[in-house]
């Protein structure tokens, strides 16, 4: 018999359990994102592997670093900066390309994989809506992967800087100064660039998720083939390539909108960041609206989908 108080009041253990339930919300979106990270270790293993290979190569290249740095100090300041920053820029570019490839193949398998291994039957039995599931999968390339890329790039570049300075100091050569490599400033530029790139690529990832939820097999072909056919038909029928240029613009066009690039194509100053220009670009908002519509379509599609 449950103890009660004052004539018919609710049991004491129920009154004590109610605040506990309020303190521990289920947070389905949070745990859905965590689930994606648990099930897809390649999201961080692949860029970590690339960073490790690049870092190993950089360590080997420091064998002749003191001699090269003495010759470099004879040049003017601008050329010194370009030469010193080059390996750091290459590391960032290689990891960014890897993260983009990982994001593409993750999206193509995100919904197709759970239909293929029949785990969709289990996930649909949980009290998580289709839209929450789709949103959690979309957040991986739009938010989680940029954060992973930023952390790995900054950590790798910091290791490179520390190791190179140790080698230079051990050989009596001046170490890399803040003027030669403004590390903190470059990290801010990187964070801004990753944020703008994720927003610009939102419709690309949403399209890949739609194909992942619809196609029964060969998701990569279904994602690429329609655009390739349209471009080929336009080229043969009209002799133009407007559609192909539009696709290329969606892939790399954010660079000219988010940055004021100097004549040499370099970004060295925070004054070259143009967030107002980027946010006022109509193509950005058209892409975001298209991405939202595609994600809603993906959620509705998943609702009626079963195992393959």
Tens-digit pLDDT profile for residues 189-201: 999 999 999 999 9
Residue 308 is assigned to a structural domain of this protein: no
- State whether the Cα torsion 86-88-91-93 is positive or negative: negative
Alpha carbon distances (Å) from 154 to 8, 102, 160: 62, 19, 10
Residue 228 tokens read as 């390739």
Quote the pLDDT of residue 117: 83
The domain in which residue 98 lies consists of 27-303
Residue 5 lies in a domain: no
**How many structural domains comprise the chain?**
1
The whole-model pTM stands at: 0.85
252-272 pLDDT, tens digit per residue, is 888 888 888 776 667 777 888
Q: How many CB atoms lie within 10 A of CB 213?
A: 23
Burial class (CB in 10 A: 0-12, 13-18, 19+), 208: buried
The answer, yes or no, to whether residue 1 has pLDDT greater than 50, is no
How wide is the angle at C-alpha 251 spanned by C-alphas 229 and 141, nearest 5°? Answer: 110
DSSP structural state of residue 10: P
Q: Please indicate, yes or no, if residue 148 is contained in any of the structural domains.
A: yes
Query: What's residue 21's pLDDT?
Result: 47
156 in a domain, yes or no? yes
pLDDT in tens, 64-82: 888 888 888 888 887 888 8
Query: What b/e sequence results for 70-109 when a residue is b if at least 16 CB atoms lie within 10 Å of its CB, and e otherwise?
Result: eeeeeeeeeebbeebbebbeebbebbbebbbebbbebbbb
Is the Cβ–Cβ distance between 43 and 37 less than 8 Å?
yes
112-147 burial, b if ≥16 CB within 10 A, otherwise e? bbbbeeeebeeeeeeebebbbbbbbbbbbbbebbbe
* CB-count burial class (<10 Å; 0-12, 13-18, 19+) for 276: exposed
7 within a domain of the structure (yes/no): no
In this prediction, residues 153-176 reach a mean pLDDT of 90
Rounded to the nearest angstrom, the gap between the alpha carbon of residue 203 and the centroid of all alpha carbons in its chain is 14
Q: Which three-class secondary structure string do you get for 146-196? A: HHHHHHHHHHHHHHHHHHHHHHHHHCCCCCCCCCCCCHHHHHHHHHHHHHH
- Predicted local confidence at residue 122, as pLDDT: 80
Distance CA 120, CA 111 (A): 9
Length of the chain: 308
Asked if residue 22 has pLDDT above 60, the reply is: no
110 neighbors 171 (Cβ within 8 angstroms)? no
CA torsion through residues 107, 110, 113, 115, sign: negative
Share of the chain above pLDDT 70, in %: 91
pLDDT at 5: 47
Per-residue pLDDT reduced to its tens digit, 116-157: 888 887 877 888 888 999 999 999 999 999 999 999 999 999
Average pLDDT of the segment spanning 176-186: 84
Does 128 reside within a domain?
Answer: yes
Q: Is the Cβ–Cβ distance between 121 and 81 less than 8 Å?
A: no
């Amino acid at each position: 018999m449950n103890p009660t108080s004052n004539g018919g009041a609710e049991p004491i253990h129920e009154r004590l359990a109610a605040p506990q339930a309020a303190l521990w919300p289920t947070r389905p979106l949070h745990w859905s994102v965590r689930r994606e990270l648990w099930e897809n270790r390649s999201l961080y293993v692949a860029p970590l592997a690339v960073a490790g290979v690049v870092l190993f190569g950089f360590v080997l290249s420091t064998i002749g670093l003191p001699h090269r740095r003495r010759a470099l100090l004879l040049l003017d300041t601008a050329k010194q900066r370009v030469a010193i920053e080059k390996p750091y820029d290459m590391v960032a570019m290689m990891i960014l390309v890897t993260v983009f490839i990982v994001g593409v193949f993750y999206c193509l398998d995100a919904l197709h994989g759970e239909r293929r291994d029949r785990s969709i039957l289990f996930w649909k039995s949980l009290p998580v809506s289709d839209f929450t599931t789709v949103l959690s999968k979309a957040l991986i390339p739009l938010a989680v992967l940029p954060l992973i890329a930023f952390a790995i790039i900054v950590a790798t570049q910091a290791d490179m800087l520390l190791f190179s300075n140790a080698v230079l100091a051990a050989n009596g050569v001046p170490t890399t100064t803040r003027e030669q490599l403004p590390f903190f400033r470059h990290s801010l530029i990187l964070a801004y660039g990753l944020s703008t790139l994720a927003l610009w690529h939102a419709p690309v990832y949403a399209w890949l998720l739609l194909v992942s939820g619809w196609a029964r097999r060969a998701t990569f072909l279904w994602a690429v083939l329609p655009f390739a056919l349209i471009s080929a038909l336009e080229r043969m029928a009209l002799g133009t390539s407007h559609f192909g240029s539009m696709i290329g613009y969606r892939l790399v066009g954010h660079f000219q909108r988010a940055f004021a690039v100097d004549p040499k194509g370099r970004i060295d100053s925070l004054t070259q960041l143009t967030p107002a220009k980027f946010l006022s670009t109509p193509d950005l908002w058209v892409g975001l609206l298209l991405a939202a519509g595609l994600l809603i379509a993906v959620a509705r599609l998943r609702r009626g989908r079963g195992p393959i």
